[in-house]
Structure 1
Amino acid sequence: MTTVNTNSTATAVNDLMSTMNAKPKEVDSVQADTDKFMTLLVTQLKNQDPLNPLDNAQVTSQLAQLSTVTGVNKLNATLETLKSSYQSSEAMQATGLIGHGVLVEGSDVQLSGGKAILGVELATPADKVQLVVTDATGKEVATIDMGPQEAGIVPVAWDGVPNPDNLGADGKPLALADGKYSFKVVATRAGEELDDAKGLAFDSVASVTTNSKDGVKLNLPGKGAVAMSDIKQVL
């Protein structure tokens, strides 16, 4: 008949509970996990049943688990360091863009002084590319014919010239007033319209915002806050 020492069992339980509920210290998380594991292991060894000691395979398995957890924690710490370093580098790069014009995905174009900048992003080549400009009422007022284009990003300088049929009450060509217009891309290949052509709007970088949650953001007057990856081309 085996006799269980209740005092020893109570002590072991108290030791384990004290270890698990210990107040966290301001130490490295990897070292803290290692210390906690070793404390638990030593507590187990101190309070093991002499007639039924811990199996060597179990101890080896626990040590292997500790090694795995420690390795993962160290990897996470390294990745956080790399992430912080990357964000700092990206922030410096973004700051250099302040005051520069950029092209971002969009369908608005601002005519100022009879001139405007816009662009097109083509995923595949096109036999014919046109930009159809409309005013605030949705009326087509200008068509920019770009001809055939290869895949890629193509900036466009528009001189504000309207369609020939955009006539005033006197029958004369009606010049387009400065202001905001919209446009759409019509790209075709072998007579079929492509669905992988996107319009690009012109904007400028006013400032840069950096925080741990959203990373680096470029603040554009027209588009708002965008990521570095949203910038298609710097002009």
Structure 2
Amino acid sequence: MSTVSGTQSSQNTMSSLARSTSSTTTTKSEESRFLTLLTTQLRNQDPMNPMENAEITSQLAQMSTVDGIERLNKMFQTFLDAQGTSDSMQAAALVGHSVLVEGRKLALTSAGAVGGFEVDADADKVVLTIKDAAGVKVNEIAFDDVAAGSHNFVWDGSASDGARAADGVYTIEVAATKDGKAVKGRTLEFGTVSSIIRGPTGTDFQVGSLGIFKFDDIKQIL
């Protein structure tokens, strides 16, 4: 039967502890590098083509957690902070861009007027009615075979009598049909994102004088 002296046993124990400490340090170092890399990816991602949730989850799944739930919670808090920064960067990329949001106003200038509409289903015909401040019809614009979704248009200011309407603010109404039946739709208003507002419920967008909107309220980016 083989025996191990006390000195050899102590040396073996110290060697094992050293290997364990080295392994733990290496693991933590690898996790730190992984988290730094993921955070950098989130901050530098293309605002118009952000990472998918599945891709982020897949990367997190590759990381082994050795310090239990507390370390996992800290890691996710860091991740959430980075995600919040990423969301703000994506939102900031929209500042200065023209967008369409739900609204009825159509501002006519010497260059014309830009507006939009949205239909919930395909339509055979969509008719936009333009009215002045007094509610009098100025003109109509018709579209055939319109797909479901949001659409933009440009009005050159021409009135139904052939004259040019005066510059100013008009209103628009939309009527859409499919096989003679009404299709639900709404009008969209043109504006420019002037700033972003980050609050406890997420990031909001100030669209000029039109007001504050959520990202989901933006129907088109022009």
TM, length-normalised to structure 1: 0.60
Give the one of 189, 194, 217 matched to 1:201: 189
Q: Secondary structure at the match of 2:88?
A: helix
Distance in 2 between the 1:199 and 1:83 partners?
Answer: 36
Give the one of 93, 100, 104 matched to 1:103: 100
Deviations 1:172-227 (A, max 9, x none): x44211111110111011112212x121111001111223x232111111321111
Match of 1:152 in 2: 149
For 1:188, the aligned partner's letter is T
Deviations 1:9-40 (A, max 9, x none): xxxxxxxxxxxxxxxxxxxxxxxxxxxxxxxx
Q: Structure 1 residues 190 and 95 mapped into 2: Cα distance closer, same or farther (>3 Å)?
A: same
Q: Secondary structure at the match of 1:205?
A: strand
Q: Secondary structure at the match of 1:87?
A: helix
Matches within 5 A, 1:162-181: 162-164=159-161, 173-181=162-170
Please say which structure displays the higher CA radius of gyration. Answer: 1
Match of 2:180 in 1: 191
For 2:146, the aligned partner's letter is Q
Q: Tell me if structure 2 keeps the 8 A contact 1:87–1:216.
A: no
Q: Secondary structure at the match of 2:133?
A: coil
For 2:192, the aligned partner's letter is S
Q: Tell me if structure 1 keeps the 8 A contact 2:120–2:183.
A: no
Q: Tell me if structure 1 keeps the 8 A contact 2:119–2:183.
A: no
Match of 2:198 in 1: 210
Matches within 5 A, 1:1-235: 81-164=78-161, 173-195=162-184, 197-211=185-199, 213-235=200-222
Q: Structure 1 residues 87 and 114 mapped into 2: Cα distance closer, same or farther (>3 Å)?
A: same
Distance in 2 between the 1:94 and 1:114 partners?
Answer: 29
Deviations 1:37-90 (A, max 9, x none): xxxxxxxxxxxxxxxxxxxxxxxxxxxxxxxxx96x888766655443332112
Q: Structure 1 residues 86 and 114 mapped into 2: Cα distance closer, same or farther (>3 Å)?
A: same
Distance in 2 between the 1:231 and 1:109 partners?
Answer: 17
Match of 1:170 in 2: none
Distance in 1 between the 2:215 and 2:75 partners?
Answer: 24
Distance in 1 between the 2:136 and 2:72 partners?
Answer: 58
Q: Secondary structure at the match of 1:177?
A: coil
Q: Which runs of 5+ in 1 are unaligned?
A: 1-69, 165-172
Distance in 2 between the 1:139 and 1:223 partners?
Answer: 23
Q: Tell me if structure 1 keeps the 8 A contact 2:109–2:167.
A: yes
Q: Which runs of 5+ in 2 are unaligned?
A: 1-67
Distance in 1 between the 2:220 and 2:212 partners?
Answer: 16
Q: Structure 1 residues 174 and 215 mapped into 2: Cα distance closer, same or farther (>3 Å)?
A: same
Distance in 2 between the 1:181 and 1:79 partners?
Answer: 50
TM, length-normalised to structure 2: 0.63
